[in-house]
Amino acid sequence: MDQAAALKDKGRQTRVIAVASGKGGVGKTNVVANLACALADSGRKVMILDADLGLANLDVLLGFAPQYNLSHVLSGEKNLEDIVIDGPKGIKVIPASSGIQEVTHMGTKEQRILLDQMEIFDGQFDYLFIDTAAGISEMVTSFLVAAHTSIVVVTPEPTSMTDAYALIKVLHNRFDEQQFHLLLNSVQNMKEAEQVFNKLNLVCEKFLDISVDFLGYIPSDKAVPEAVRRQRAVVDINPEAECSKRFLIVARELERTPVKKQTGGLQFFWRRLLHGEFARE
């Protein structure tokens, strides 16, 4: 990475957005790739941390093949800047699906390596998206607690709704998380999105005493799997598709939504992630 350019760009306050779902296969990786592309198109500097342990990772989706990943950085074999991949539209991707699981249990030596290495990205990005793994592991909850904004992807499938609720419940009860942005994916239309949202919101109000926010919806659209097959983001290759238009609306909405935790940028995020200082047992 060009050090001079890095210095010139210092000063951006990076907003860290973690994307999770509880249930696997509901569209997290597609959401991350497309929101990242939409924001990059409108001139934002975007980075993605690929912490997805699933099968269809970002590298498959955006058509690149990482040779190294975060585990090589933590072992000292590589520097972070050597493993970062140039995605489309100037998006930078940290391939972290290998090595990231250890992050919440790192020794102080590895913590120092990670924090020192991450410093180079300070002030350079407007957004850092985190594509998390399925499930409600400690790693997933740690990302959501440390991030500035949490997006929960939900589909109308009952198992997706119950798993999304389970995720929100753990984050609220154990970590006192208050704000969740729901993104309804693979819905037939706005009406179905609202129905699913209202159901989930009602349960959260009744049992957790919190309201969740409606970030938007993405229709079920065959253009999504078509784009996946071509290893491109759908907003990129098929901007006229209904789902692409919706991704742009969601990206705009995301830019408008206030950040839940005002303090700190990228370094603050990593410190919070590594030290888990907000965990309540």
Site for ligand ATP in 55-74 (CB under 6 A): 55-56
Asked if residues 97 and 69 have their Cβ atoms less than 8 Å apart, the reply is yes
Helices (H), 88-231: 108-118, 138-146, 158-175, 190-208, 223-229
Both structure tokens of 114: 């990670």
Q: Which of 15, 16, 29, 39 binds ligand ATP (CB under 6 A)?
A: 29
Which residues are within 8 A (CB) of 232 and not within 5 positions of it... i.e. 6 or more apart? 62, 63, 88
Binding of ligand ATP by 20 (CB under 6 A): no
Given Mg ion, ligand ATP, none, residue 236, with its beta carbon under 5 to 8 Å by kind, binds none
* Of 52 and 122, CB closest to Mg ion: 52
Regarding 54 and contact with ligand ATP (CB under 6 A), the answer is: yes
Quick one: what does residue 185 bind among Mg ion, ligand ATP, none, with the CB cut-off 5 to 8 Å set by partner type?
ligand ATP
User: Contact between 28 and ligand ATP (CB under 6 A)?
Assistant: yes
The Cα-based distances of 40 to 34, 36, 111, 152, 177 in angstroms read 10, 6, 30, 21, 29
Q: Which does 25 bind (CB under 5 to 8 A by kind): Mg ion, ligand ATP, none?
A: ligand ATP
**Measured between alpha carbons, how far is 251 from 256 in angstroms, rounded to an integer?**
9
Question: Judged by CB under 6 A, does residue 220 bind ligand ATP?
Answer: yes
Site string for Mg ion, 36-75 (x = CB under 5 A): ----------------x-x---------------------
- SS3 (DSSP) at 2: coil
